Structure 1
Amino acid sequence: MFGLIGHLTSLEHAQSVARELGYPEYADQGLEFWCSAPPQIVDRIKVTSATGQQIEGLYVESCFLPEMLAGSKIKTAIRKILNAMALAQKNDVDITALGGFSSIIFENFNLSQMSSVRNIQLEFNRFTTGNTHTAYIICRQIEEASRKFGIDLAKATVTVCGATGDIGSAVCRWLDARTNIKELLLVARNQERLQELQAQLGRGKVLDIEEALPQSDIIVWVASMAKGMAIDATTLKRPCILIDGGYPKNMSTLVHEEDVHVIDGGIVEHSLDIDWKIMKIVNMTAPARQLFACFAEAMLLEFEGWHTNFSWGRNQISIESMDKIGAVSIKHGFRPLIN
C-alpha cells in the first residue's frame, strides 16, 4: 500500500475543505485550533496502471498550514509532519510521499534525526520526498513546452529560481547534461550554495532575480518559499515560458501578459481515472486524472514494488535516477501536463 502526506494552502482553504469533507468541528476554527489538530486519513485511493495493475493507498492530511512556518510555530510544523509520518507507518503503508512543504520541512529541519514519535520508531525507508519524479516531469515540461511555443532550446536562456534546492539542482544538472541551451542562469538566496552548484556544473551565471528574469526565454520557478514573490511580468521576454513548480501554484494569478505562458510545473496527468476525491479540493482542472508528480512517485514505487526512500537527502538526485523513475512513469501511464 502507498501513502500520500499532504496539506492545504492556507487557513481559509483548510476551513472550506474541512466543511466539504464532513469535519464541521474543524471548519470554523482559527489557526490555534489547527496547530493542535492531529493528522487524519481523509481518503482511500485506488489506482489502475496503463498495464492493468491495480494498487491501493491512503491520503493523510497533516493539518499543517503554511502560516505555521512563521515565528514560534516552526516547532508545530515539524511536529505535524512527524505525526503524519507516524500515522502512515502505523497503518502499514509501505511507501509514502511527502507532498508540498512536508518534504521541505523534513529536509530543512533535518527531521531524520527525530525518528522517535511517541511509541513509534519511524522507518525512513518507508518515505520518499517524490522530488526525483517532480524534477523529471519539470524537465519533460521544459522540452514539450519549448516545442509547443516555438522556443529553440539551442538559442534559449533558461533561469532556474531556487537552483540550489533538491529539485532545482536536479533540473540544472539535467539542463547541463541533456540539452544544448545557450545560457543557464542560477538564482537562489544562499550565495555560497550557488557558487558550489556553479562549480559542480562548470557553467551557469549567478544573478539576482531582477537581473535574470528579463533575460530569460524559460523560467523554472522551484523556490521553496511559503508565499510567491511578485514578478513584474511586463519586463519578461516575448515569448516566455514560466514553469511554476512551487506550492501553492500562484504564478497564473500573478502573470497576465500575452505570450507569457505559465505552466503548472511538476503536475502529471494519468491515462485512467483515479478513484479518489482529494485532488478535487486542491482545484485540479481534471481531478480524476491530474496530480502532483511527487504523489505519483509513491504510486510508481508501489507499482514496481520499490519500497525504499527513492528520493532522499538534499541535492542527491542523479540523471540516472531521473531516467529510472521516468521510464516507469511512462510505463504506468503518466505524462507531464502542458496546460
Structure 2
Amino acid sequence: MFGLIGHLTSLDHAQAVARDLGYPEYADQGLDFWCSAPPQIVDDIKVTSATGQVIEGRYVESCFLPEMLAARRIKTAARKVVNAMAHAQKNGIDITALGGFSSIIFENFNLSQMRQVRNVSLEFERFTTGNTHTAYIICRQVEAAAAKLDINLSTATVAVCGATGDIGSAVCRWLTARTDIQELLLVARNRERLQNLQTELGRGTVADSLEQAVAQADIVVWVASMPKGVNIDPSILKRPCLMIDGGYPKNLDTHFNAEGVYVLKGGIVEHSLDIDWRIMTIVNMDVPARQLFACFAESMLLEFEKWYTNFSWGRNQITLEKMDMIGQSSVRHGFRPLLQLNSPSLVSGGS
C-alpha cells in the first residue's frame, strides 16, 4: 500500500475545506487549533495503471499550514511532519510520499535525527520526498511547452529560481546534460551554494537578482517553495515568456494580464485513467480525477514497481539515471506531464 502526506495551502483553505466536509466547528478555528490538530487519514485511494495493475493507498492530512512557518513555529511544523510519518507507518503503509512543505521541512530541519516519535521508531526507507519524479516532470514540461510556444531551446535563456534546492539542482543537471539551451541563469538566496552548483555543472550564470534573471529569460522555472507567493511584474518579461511554477502552494499568479506571457503549473501530471479518490478536489485540481502532484505519483510508481525504498531522499542527491528510471516507470503506468498553459492570449490550453 502507498501513502501520501499532504497539507492545505493556507488557514483560509483549511477552514473552507473543514466547512465543505461538514466540520463547521473546525471551520471557525484559528491557527492555534491547527497547530494542535493530530494527523488523520482522510481518503482511501485506488489507482489503475495503464498496464491494468491496480493498487490502493491512503492520504494522510498532516494539518500543517504554511502560516506556521511565517509565524516562526518551526518546532510545530517539524512535529506535524514526523507525526504524520509515524501515523502512516502505524497504519501499515509501505511507501509514503512527503508532499509540498512536508519534504522541505524534513530536509531543511534535519528531521532524520528525530527517528523516535513516541512509541514509533521511524523506518525512513518507507518514505520518499517524490522530488525525483517532480524534477523529471518539470524538465519534460520545459521541453514540451517550449515547443508548443515555438521557443527554440538552442537560442533560449532559462532561469531556474530555487536552483540550489533538491528539485532545482536536478532540473539544472537535466537542462545542462539533456538539452541544448543557450544560457542557464541560476537564482537562489545562498550565493556560495550557487557558485558550488555552477562549478558542478560547468556552466550557468549566477544571477545578481530575481528581477534581473526573469527579465532576461525566455523560460522561468520556479521551484523555490515559500509560505507566500511572489508577484512578478509582467512588464519586465520577454514576449513570449514561459513561466513554470513548480511550488506548492503556487508561488506565481496563474494568470497574467499580459499578452504573450504563459504560466504552466509545474510538477503536475495527468493520469490516463480516472483515479478513485476525493483529495484532489480538496486541493483544487482542474481535473481532480486525473491530475495530481508528481511527488504523489512517485509513491504510486514505487508501489506499482514494488520498489519499497526512499527513492528520493536528502538534498541534491537526484541523478540523471534515477530521473530516467522513474520517468520510464511514469510513462509505462500512464502518467504524462500537464501542459495546460494559462494566458489571456491562449484560447485553447489542452495538453
Matching of residue 196 in structure 1 with residue 196 in structure 2: yes
* TM superposition shift of 1:71: 4.2
Partners of 1:231 and 1:255 within 8 A in 2: no
Q: 3-state SS of the aligned residue for 2:32?
A: helix
Matching of residue 334 in structure 1 with residue 335 in structure 2: yes
For 1:337 and 1:117, how far apart are their aligned partners in 2? 37
For 1:180 and 1:127, how far apart are their aligned partners in 2? 34
In the alignment, which residue of structure 2 is the partner of 1:286? 287
The number of aligned residues is 339
* TM superposition shift of 1:135: 0.1
Give the superposed CA RMSD. 0.9
In the alignment, which residue of structure 2 is the partner of 1:95? 95
Q: 3-state SS of the aligned residue for 1:251?
A: coil
In the alignment, which residue of structure 2 is the partner of 1:305? 306
Q: 3-state SS of the aligned residue for 1:184?
A: strand
Q: 3-state SS of the aligned residue for 2:92?
A: coil
In the alignment, which residue of structure 2 is the partner of 1:121? 121
Partners of 1:231 and 1:254 within 8 A in 2: no
In the alignment, which residue of structure 1 is the partner of 2:155? 155
Deviation digits for residues 285-307 of structure 1, max 9, x if unmatched? 10000000000000000000001
Q: What runs of 5+ residues in structure 2 fail to find an aligned partner?
A: 341-351
For 1:254 and 1:269, how far apart are their aligned partners in 2? 21
For 2:256 and 2:77, how far apart are their aligned partners in 1? 30
- Compute the TM-score of the two structures, normalised by the length of structure 2: 0.95
Q: What runs of 5+ residues in structure 1 fail to find an aligned partner?
A: none
Matching of residue 244 in structure 1 with residue 248 in structure 2: no
Distance change >3 Å, CA 250–CA 160, structure 1 → 2 = closer
Residue identity matched to 1:274: I
Structure 1 outlier segments of 4+, above 6 Å: none
* TM superposition shift of 1:26: 1.6
Partners of 1:230 and 1:254 within 8 A in 2: no
- Which structure 2 residues correspond to residues 311-322 of structure 1 after superposition, within 5 A? 311-322=312-323
1 or 2, which has the higher helix percentage?
A: 1
* TM superposition shift of 1:21: 2.1
- Compute the TM-score of the two structures, normalised by the length of structure 1: 0.98
For 1:307 and 1:85, how far apart are their aligned partners in 2? 15
Residue identity matched to 1:276: W
Q: 3-state SS of the aligned residue for 2:73?
A: helix
In the alignment, which residue of structure 2 is the partner of 1:205? 205
Residue identity matched to 1:265: G
Matching of residue 216 in structure 1 with residue 217 in structure 2: yes
Distance change >3 Å, CA 28–CA 238, structure 1 → 2 = same
In the alignment, which residue of structure 2 is the partner of 1:60? 60
In the alignment, which residue of structure 1 is the partner of 2:270? 269
Residue identity matched to 2:269: V
* TM superposition shift of 1:19: 1.8
Residue identity matched to 1:220: V
